[in-house]
A = this chain, B = another copy of it.
Amino acid sequence: MQAFTATSASRIPAALAMRGVSALPRGADEAQHAARQRFARGEEVFAEGDAGTYFYKVVSGTVRTGKLLADGRRQIDAFHLAGDVFGLESGDRHRFTAEAVDEVVVIAYRRSRFASLVHDDPAFGEQLMAAMLTNLDRAHDHMVLLGRKSALEKMASFLLDMARRHPGADKVVLPMQRTDIADHLGLTIETVSRTLTQMVRDGLIRLAEAGRTIVLADKAGLQLLDA
């Protein structure tokens, strides 16, 4: 596991790949300078080092953002679900990679229009600011997880977080595979797998659909682990 890109996906820089822009009726979010884009499982939205021409808001599906070290080690800093904003950064180049975890639709906004966008639509500006601050909050929480939690606690926190962010009952349908979870939690896939089976043994969760669906059987028990 050394590439950030998924196995069969081709590398298509987002800035060049404007195909996939739909002609759907535009909602309030989609003012001028915003374009809807579609990405298949494993496709790259942008890569570390790419020009940060656009930033994005997820319409549907899941996007992973993260960094890749020279020797192949990977850290996924966040999964972005519907409504989340990603790709807004300080420099003029992207400092991390963004890829589609499953079938994804995003709205791309030109960063150069950031100021005018905010000026024309202050509410949108507020929303963006809030989205960035949410990202920062999440980053802080995730640093605690990475630096100070055990594998069991990491897994419990992750599952509860996914359950909270997803609609639906105490059942999480994970869009990502074990490798992604491992690289998000700072673990190996083996430890992720072992931790999940231990949780099943302890009656905390139940697995279904090839381990992709996780029923939170004992939410209170999990919350006890979510330090």
Taking Cβ atoms with an 8 Å cutoff, the residues of A that contact B are 67, 69-71, 73-75, 77, 88-91, 95-96, 130, 132-137, 139-144, 146-148, 183, 185-186, 227
Q: Can you list 9 A-B pairs, Cβ within 8 angstroms, ordered by A?
A: A69-B227, A73-B148, A75-B143, A90-B134, A90-B136, A132-B132, A132-B136, A139-B139, A142-B143
Q: How many copies of this kind of chain does the complex include? A: 2
With A69-B227, A75-B148 in contact, is A140–B137 under 8 Å at CB? no
Q: Which residues of B contact A69 (CB under 8 A)?
A: 144, 148, 227
Shortest beta-carbon contacts, A-B, top 9: A147-B186, A90-B133, A146-B146, A139-B139, A75-B144, A73-B148, A146-B147, A75-B147, A69-B227
Q: Are the CB atoms of B71 and A227 closer together than 8 Å? A: yes
A134 to B91, CA, bound (A): 9
Closest to A153 in B: B69
Enumerate chain B residues within 8 angstroms of A75, measured Cβ to Cβ: 143-144, 147-148
Chain B residues whose C-beta falls within 8 Å of the C-beta of A146 in the assembled complex: 143, 146-147, 186
Chain B hits for A67, CB < 8 A: 140-141, 144
In the bound complex, what is the Cα–Cα distance between A143 and B143 (angstroms)?
Answer: 6
Instruction: Given A185-B147, A186-B148, verify A77-B227 contact (CB < 8 Å).
Output: no
* Closest chain B CB from A157 CB (angstroms): 11
